[in-house]
Structure 1
């Protein structure tokens, strides 16, 4: 089965070609530099860039995969959640292509696609579900922090989510307080490498609460007040690595503790993690340590498939088709607020 997919949920335009589970092409055009000037994603600018990038990215995907559009068996695109104008561009382009080629179309839930991205491994990368087993999955990105129980293929149960700021959002907002450029998460990761994570004792919101929800707004506020009360730190370049390491340690501690605790409570032996924040080296390292300490196996999405990408969209659509899930209507509309509870993989 040859699948062509588009991903345009936020600020990255991506096209992918997946053949029998092998990722033959996964092309991504990022808009980070465009939005950095504004300190965050501007929806109108994102939509404009998607329109500009969609055809070049799609052509590059077909050329890289050495595949023609006529050879495609199935077409997919992200249907939601995401920015409405951004979603609209990818979804309608994919639907038009499916109509023109008379191929089935699948409108994919972005977060469900993240759930299956840790199963894309190897060189060349290939999705392989033969070793699939029940697990707890952490999805952590700029806009979402989710804990999900996945008992079997294409079935999932949302256990908890963010009540306010997501983990990635907390990285960016605290980074801005520290004077770092957008997106601050990767910059904090690099600076924290040379810092002391115990230099400053920042709070771990909800870490010890007996639930699976997350809340990071309190941590952001604590950093703001600490910098207000210690203004000299903002002028001390030697303090910056320690501040970054301490903020990062607080975020990672919460994510790891709640993920491992959920896995032990549900009696599973596998943990997976995906989403842009899973590129963070401290999070990957601490998850590995914690899982090993509790006898849990760990599957982390490869960095190329952590951030928004069309390969994971193609992989999920292919899996849905193989499992007999019906295609999506060609007149289906975007679902910007599509919750994981409402999705049926």
Structure 2
């Protein structure tokens, strides 16, 4: 049990769904609030960069090598011992099968050794729960816009450990995936989000009229599509090169980024208004994008909606977000997962704890 001088229960969270090995520690206070104690992350992104995307086998191997040192760093940062931990939470899905197995196996070993409950939780809900570490409890119901390399979704959230309903999702590429593909077209580094964001600051977002997917009157009003946008960028670049023109990289980046941010924020605000929700939580790796966050603030302010965005470090995959989910389900007295828990790469967003 916790012995570091304060009340509450300590939850250790493990995240290995993709290319970050994350171990976080939070404290569930007696009043139900959740406080961040430590957040340690080891990334294998440099090992994937030369391939232009995540290689599952490389990711799994990197998790194996990083798990114990990352856990040790988190415990040291928090100033506690492993024996102080009261519960273990781990990403059980969705994600890469081999990568998930590494985290789940480690979590099962820790839980068995310590004799504490194990919670196999949803990675997607982690991106929502992490905001509570910075901005406190969520309202009774809110809209979450999750934007990352693998997911672009609008969620109606009644509570991290309660009802979560998907109201919109991408039908093809996720926004982050589109960033990676466009970066490759423009010969920019992987992952594509940061370099495109930097280049866009020097460009004109209105220079090129790139399409806004699924925004027609007959289209699904809360779903997303970025495949056509990616193709439009590729064709524009190809035609410019064939004509012997010098590519205006900054303008292309700014115009592409504007198209993504425009669609994401317009649909999110519309969904919140139609559902009568006054708070939007923006999370996921792409939430760190300067234009997306900036335009979301503008449109939320115009609509009288409160926007909550975790700091960039907490937007990307990390163990703290998984520990936060664990703390919320612990507070709600949710039944733990069995020690025979298996990962579920296709875990649906309406599943909070896997059993």
Distance across 1 between alignment mates of 2:314 and 2:280: 17
- 1:201 is matched with which residue? 209
Kept after mapping to 2: 8 A contact 1:159/1:212: yes
CA contact (8 A) 1:178 1:234 kept: no
Counterparts of 2:291 and 2:165 in 1: how far apart (Å)? 27
Runs of 4+ in 1 over 6 A off after TM superposition: 232-235
Alignment partner, residue 54 of structure 1: 67
8 Å Cα contact 2:119-2:336 kept in structure 1: yes
Partner of 2:31: none
How far did residue 128 of structure 1 move? 2.5
Number of equivalences: 338
- 1:293 corresponds to: 302
CA distance in 2, matches of 1:143, 1:295: 30
Aligned to 2:236: 226
For each residue in 1:161-204, what CA deviation from the matched residue of structure 2 results, as whole angstroms up to 9, or x when unmatched? 11000000011101111111111111000010111000000000
Q: Structure 1, residues 83-136: CA drift from partner, whole Å, max 9, x if none?
A: 111000011111111011110000010001112222221xxxxx721x523111
Q: What's the TM-score, normalizing by structure 2?
A: 0.92
Cα distance change of structure 1 residues 50 and 172 upon mapping to structure 2, 3 Å threshold: same
Summarize deviations over 1:5-51 as a string: whole Å, max 9, x none: 11100000111111232211100011111110110001111111111
Moved more, 19-28 or 169-178: 19-28
Deviation at 1:76, TM superposition (A): 1.1
Match of 2:22, SS?
strand
Structure 2 residue 84 is the aligned partner of structure 1 residue 84: no
Displacement after TM superposition at 1:298 (Å): 0.6
Equivalent position of 2:314 in the other structure: 305
Is it true that 1:34 corresponds to 2:47 in the alignment? yes
Deviations 1:272-331 (A, max 9, x none): 110000000000000000000011111012211100000010011111011111111110
- 1:281 is aligned, of 261, 284, 290, to 290
Q: SS where residue 107 of structure 2 aligns? A: helix
Alignment partner, residue 15 of structure 2: 7
Are 2:156 and 1:149 aligned? yes
Contact in 2 for aligned 1:120/1:302 (Cα 8 Å): no
Distance in 2 (CA, whole Å) between partners of 1:11 and 1:232 is 37
SS in 2 for 1:230: helix
Distance in 1, matches of 2:244 and 2:277, equals 44
| TM norm structure 1 | 0.95
Range with bigger deviation, 149-158 or 304-313: 149-158
CA distance in 2, matches of 1:179, 1:137: 33
Aligned CA-pair RMSD = 1.6
1:124 corresponds to which residue? none
- Gaps spanning 5+ residues in structure 1: where? 122-126
